[in-house]
Chain A
Amino acid sequence: DSGVTQTPKHLITATGQRVTLRCSPRSGDLSVYWYQQSLDQGLQFLIQYYNGEERAKGNILERFSAQQFPDLHSELNLSSLELGDSALYFCASGSGRSNEKLFFGSGTQLSVL
């Protein structure tokens, strides 16, 4: 168990819909990272938050947004969903002090039908 909690584990929805993925980092970790894993794109970095502030942005679509709350949990919001958004979405957490290790949650498998 990595200590990073992601919910839900599975999500099935239809095109055009909006979903929210939730992540609770390990106790004491201030940084949360979101990654998308798909068959054609591999593991892609989406966005990172550190202690409530956005710190880095990767290949995140404008239809996607995220935030980190005062209790340090983070949510990734995906809207106007398309078939191609079907993927495994990982959250990872790190200490934020020159992160040397990132620990991953078990992921949320999103299926857009």
Chain B
Amino acid sequence: AQTVTQSQPEMSVQEAETVTLSCTYDTSESNYYLFWYKQPPSRQMILVIRQEAYKQQNATENRFSVNFQKAAKSFSLKISDSQLGDTAMYFCAFMKPSNFGNEKLTFGTGTRLTIIP
């Protein structure tokens, strides 16, 4: 079974600064997907970024980028030029693809990020 660990329960950073959220995972699979989801106070789960394990290039979505270290089983999220709207709970998640359409996400416990004005 896969496990996802987020060791930082809470973080805070000044607006416009850069912050990095950590995530490690454990799996014996070679092909998988990794995700970061954001859950703002509205409690909606919003997909931030996705990484395919077979791709060496780190995924980037505007101010959000990841540092994917497959050998170390590490998947950190970097938020550049942080904004007040980035204040949210951030969840790291793992998915093992399947030919049977029964993939599921395994989530970490989350990191609560607060952007300070």
A interface with B by C-beta (< 8 Å): 2, 30-31, 33, 35, 42-43, 45, 48, 50, 55-56, 58, 88, 90, 92, 94, 96-104, 106-107, 109
B interface with A by C-beta (< 8 Å): 33, 35, 37, 42-47, 50, 52, 91, 95, 97-107, 109-110
Taking A2-B44, A98-B103, A104-B46 as known contacts, 5 extra A-B pairs with beta carbons closer than 8 A to each other, sorted by chain A number, are A35-B105, A92-B105, A99-B103, A102-B95, A102-B105
On chain A, the residues within 8 Å of B46 by CB distance are 2, 104
Known A100-B33, A104-B44; contact A58-B91, beta-carbon cutoff 8 A = no
A contacts with B: majority SS: strand
Partner of A100, one of B45, B50, B100: B50
Known A98-B99, A100-B97; contact A56-B104, beta-carbon cutoff 8 A = yes
- Is B104 a contact partner of A107 (Cβ separation < 8 A)? no
Shortest Cβ distance from residue B109 to the other chain A in the assembled complex, whole angstroms: 5
- Is A104 a contact partner of B45 (Cβ separation < 8 A)? yes
Partner of A98, one of B50, B97, B104, B107: B97
- Is A101 a contact partner of B104 (Cβ separation < 8 A)? no
- Is B102 a contact partner of A43 (Cβ separation < 8 A)? no
Known A33-B104, A104-B45; contact A99-B95, beta-carbon cutoff 8 A = yes
CA distance A2 to B43 in the complex (A): 13
Partner of A42, one of B37, B42, B109: B109
On chain B, the residues within 8 Å of A45 by CB distance are 104-106
On chain A, the residues within 8 Å of B103 by CB distance are 94, 98-99
